[in-house]
Amino acid sequence: MTYIALSLGADPVYIGIQASCFAAGGVAAALPGGRMSDRIGGALVASIGMVLLLMGIALILVLPTLPVLLGTSFIIGAGHALMVVGQQSLVARVASTGSRDAAFGTLSATMAFGQLVGAPLVTTLGTVFAAPHAEINTTVGMITCAATIGVALLPTLALHRIEAAAFATGPPTERIRLRAALGIPGMWRALVVSGTVLAGVDLLASFLPVWAVERGVTAAVVGWLLALRALVTITSRFGMTRLIGRFGRRALLTVAIVVAAVAMGALPFVDAWGAVVVMCLMGIGLGLPQPLTLSWVTSLAPPTARGVVLATRVTANRLAQVTIPLIVSTIAGPSGVSAVLISTAGVLAISAGFAASSGSLRPEGPSDSLDRETPDVPE
């Protein structure tokens, strides 16, 4: 979508507005999607999200203009949020209490694998079929995006039958207000930790190229460094349950965020080879918290309101993705990329403190389940 906007003469300000429209779509759709997941099931909500994604892509292909791109960014952001909330709600409902950590770890690992494969697939095909002297064929790229969504849509619909069985044996759905969800003991700490870590991922992706330019590191090396981080993230998530069994959830989450903070703070002082070590540490430090906070948030919610609570987490994440980079860039940006990275490390260190001091994230291992049910939350 950015390449399409640039081909239509967009400037950096427009690109920023386009990104904000995507985030705004997610904020608007997440909570309604969570309520729908609690009523009709996460698989159907995820399917609706995919249909919105396909509609947005079709609109771009038919009317590729700058005003339309802003509207489609909002639609695609909403579709993406519905897809994520639906998938997470589905996992929370069908996974047993003892296997929820492994289920969320597997889900987030395969998401990371999709990110690792998807971007090279789209850009490679778009480059292969590009016209002479053109950077990329955006039509081929968007069609490739649509094809991958189409592949995912049918099995997601089929998952509704599995989820329907969980609905049949579970308690009736209750309505829980946003204020009640935020008032669940430990919830706001979980949301702060989740949002700051995700904002750290965005800041790394945004400022790693700036770091590279200052040191004469090529764009190809930057791509490989980000791919390395994704690979380490995938590996760490598949082995997460063993780490939980050995160290406990609170200790693992706290140490992971501390590792990310140290690595982020070290990046301004290393060269390309040192960045290889930093990216490996980032893969662990920024990779483990996502499934751990998913399990943490789910454990705090009443069984009939997990969709709403997971949607609240997505909303908080999107808000953090907008506000934290803006604040860090505004305060530290004039001093250069090193100041931005060090400031981000400080934000992550504060987040680690929230995780370490949380009473709702128990330090014990599997014998003291994080997923014990929370009493009913009053309206």
pLDDT in tens, 170-194: 554 555 666 777 777 888 888 899 8
Q: What whole-number distance in Å separates Cα of residue 312 and Cα of residue 84?
A: 12
- State residue 370's pLDDT score: 35
Of the two residues 335 and 284, the one the predictor is more confident about is 284
pLDDT in tens, 89-117: 898 888 765 677 788 878 888 887 887 78
What is the pLDDT averaged over residues 156-174?
71
What is the pLDDT averaged over residues 18-27?
82
Of the two residues 205 and 27, the one the predictor is more confident about is 27
Is 368 in contact with 242 (CB distance < 8 Å)? no
Q: What percent of the chain has pLDDT over 70?
A: 88
This model's pTM is above 0.85? no
Cα angle for residues 171, 299, 367 (degrees, 5° grid) = 110
CA-derived radius of gyration, the chain: 21
What is the pLDDT averaged over residues 116-138?
82
pLDDT band with cut points at 50, 70 and 90 for residue 225: confident
pLDDT in tens, 344-364: 899 999 999 999 987 656 543
DSSP 177: -
146-180 b/e with 16+ CB inside 10 Å = b? beebeebbeebeebbeebeeebeeeeebeebeeeb
- State residue 130's pLDDT score: 86
Q: Distance of CA 269 to CAs 39, 140, 214, Å?
A: 51, 40, 12
In sequence order, which residues have a C-beta less than 8 Å from that of residue 228 and are 6 or more positions away? 276, 279, 280, 283
- State residue 44's pLDDT score: 94
Q: Would you give the end-to-end CA distance of the chain in angstroms?
A: 42
DSSP class per residue in 64-120? --HHHHHHHHHHHHHHHHHHHHHHHHHHHHHS-GGGHHHHHHHHHHHHHHHHHHHHH
Dihedral sign computed on CA atoms, order 174, 176, 31, 197: negative
pLDDT in tens, 296-352: 888 887 776 777 888 888 888 888 877 787 787 777 767 878 888 898 899 999 999
Q: Is the pLDDT of residue 120 over 90?
A: no
Enumerate domains of the chain plus CATH numbers. 1-170 (1.20.1250.20), 175-379 (1.20.1250.20)
Q: Is the pLDDT of residue 258 over 70?
A: yes
Is 88 in contact with 35 (CB distance < 8 Å)? no
Average pLDDT score over the chain:
82
Is 346 in contact with 185 (CB distance < 8 Å)? no
DSSP 132: T
Dihedral sign computed on CA atoms, order 324, 330, 331, 334: positive
- State residue 97's pLDDT score: 59
- State residue 39's pLDDT score: 86
Q: What whole-number distance in Å separates Cα of residue 70 and Cα of residue 198?
A: 24
Q: Is the pLDDT of residue 366 over 60?
A: no
- State residue 12's pLDDT score: 65
**Nearest CA to 38 among 374, 294, 311, 292?**
311
pLDDT in tens, 46-74: 999 999 999 999 999 999 999 999 999 99
Of the two residues 76 and 2, the one the predictor is more confident about is 76
Q: What percent of the chain has pLDDT over 90?
A: 31
- State residue 360's pLDDT score: 58
